[in-house]
Amino acid sequence: MERKKLILNCDPGTDDSVCIIMGLTHPGIDLLGITAESGNLPASKSCANALRILELMERPDIPVAKGMEHPLVREYPKDPYSHGKDGLGNHFFPEPELKPDPRYAAQMIIDLVEQFPGEVTILSTAPLTNIALAFMLKPDIIPMVKEVYHLGGAYGVTDYAFLNATGDNPMSEWNVYVDPEAAKAVYESGVKLTTIGLDVAFNPEWVNIREEALKKLEKLNTKASRYVLEIIDYVDKNNSLPDLFNNGPIDTVAMCAVIQPDIIETREIHVEVDTSDNQLTRGMTLWDRRNHFKWTHIPRIWTACAIDSERYQRTFVEAVGGKPYDEI
């Protein structure tokens, strides 16, 4: 199996921490490095939590580089969702002994893309500040990036896009809302971009972690699977949407899409990111759905509109367990 070279831009956070484990464990992923973003938590805390997960998994070989403590041009907002007092579902791991990479996150992205031109996939389960900054500092790397996946945006493909909007207004998703200027820069860069928005990631019929998958994780009984089950339990007991939500870490939907791209159904759309100061729409990912007079000058991206739920369950378990589903 040819392993996919991956940079994970994340802000752990409960769900991001599970993505780190999946990237370390799945045999099809070659995790080149982790860049810590300010999103769920400030970048300094995200960085420390990423190092804690690497220590849990006994993987000191993976470099972790810290990004900026704030968005490109705005103040850093506080995430309304609680990831626990420590950001990791109240596991309270000790201070990490591992040290972060001395490079800034953007520089590590530049270096890895230049080291493996045309081979690197970047997955962001966080705002896009680090990636935007890398593209601004070294535009020459943009065509060298194989593809970017982003857990971000709310497009209106399904009702779930706005029923449970996670930005601090009715129209936006958190990872875009935090730094809309960064999202706009990446969307407009011309890089091949696939987004998984709330349309898919917040549809409980598609992304709930089901009983069979939970039993498989219990059967694994590894430190990775035990931690993941504890995070699922934390999310289930502490989510802020008790009437409608899933029990799973939503960022894992994007990681599964990187591992098995054909589990998501995508469509090509024209999207503009609202970078205004309008409190109602800041961070909105506006899809121009018109058949005529369409604004073809605005960015063209791919976004997920559906997911094969059964294959998502299997891919999720396989990525945590590091072995085929039927062998667990």
Query: Digits of tens for pLDDT over the chain (328 positions)?
Result: 689 999 999 999 999 999 999 999 999 999 999 999 999 999 999 999 999 999 999 999 999 999 999 999 999 987 666 788 888 998 999 999 999 999 999 999 999 999 999 999 999 999 999 999 999 999 999 999 999 999 999 999 998 888 878 888 999 999 999 999 999 999 999 999 999 999 999 888 899 899 999 999 999 999 999 999 999 998 887 766 555 556 778 999 999 999 999 999 999 999 999 999 999 999 999 999 888 887 888 999 999 999 999 999 999 999 999 999 999 9
Structure tokens at 15: 């769900």
What is the reported pLDDT for 240? 61
pTM here is: 0.96
Triad 42, 170, 199: Cα angle to 5°: 85
The single-letter code of the amino acid at 81 is Y
DSSP string, 281-296: TTT-EEE---SSS--T
**Radius of gyration over alpha carbons of the chain, in Å?**
18
> Which structural domains are found in the chain, ordered by start?
4-327 (3.90.245.10)
- Give me the pLDDT at residue 295, please: 85
| Calpha distance 305→195 (Å, rounded) | 10
Alpha helices in 126-222, H assignment, sequence order? 129-137, 160-163, 174-177, 180-187, 198-201, 204-207, 211-220
| Whole-number Å distance between alpha carbons of 314 and 308 | 10
Pick from 17, 92, 80, 81: nearest CA to 54: 17
The rounded distance, in Å, linking the Cα atoms of 283 and 183 is: 9
Measure the CA–CA gap between 301 and 309, rounded to whole angstroms. Answer: 23
Angle (CA) 139 142 143, round 5°? 125
Chain CA centroid to CA 16, Å:
7
Residues 228, 255: Cα–Cα separation, whole Å: 14
Helix (H) or strand (E) holding 194: strand 193-196
Rounded Cα–Cα distance for residues 252 and 191 (Å)? 22
pLDDT value at residue 248: 74
Lookup: tokens for 23: 């990237």
The Cα–Cα gap between 181 and 315 comes to: 33
Distance, CA of 323 to CA of 192 (rounded, Å): 30
Report which DSSP code applies to 118.
T
Strand partners of residue 130: none
User: What is the Cα–Cα distance from 121 to 4, expressed in whole angstroms?
Assistant: 7
Confidence at residue 236, expressed as pLDDT on a 0 to 100 scale: 82
Q: Which two tokens stand for residue 8?
A: 């994970």
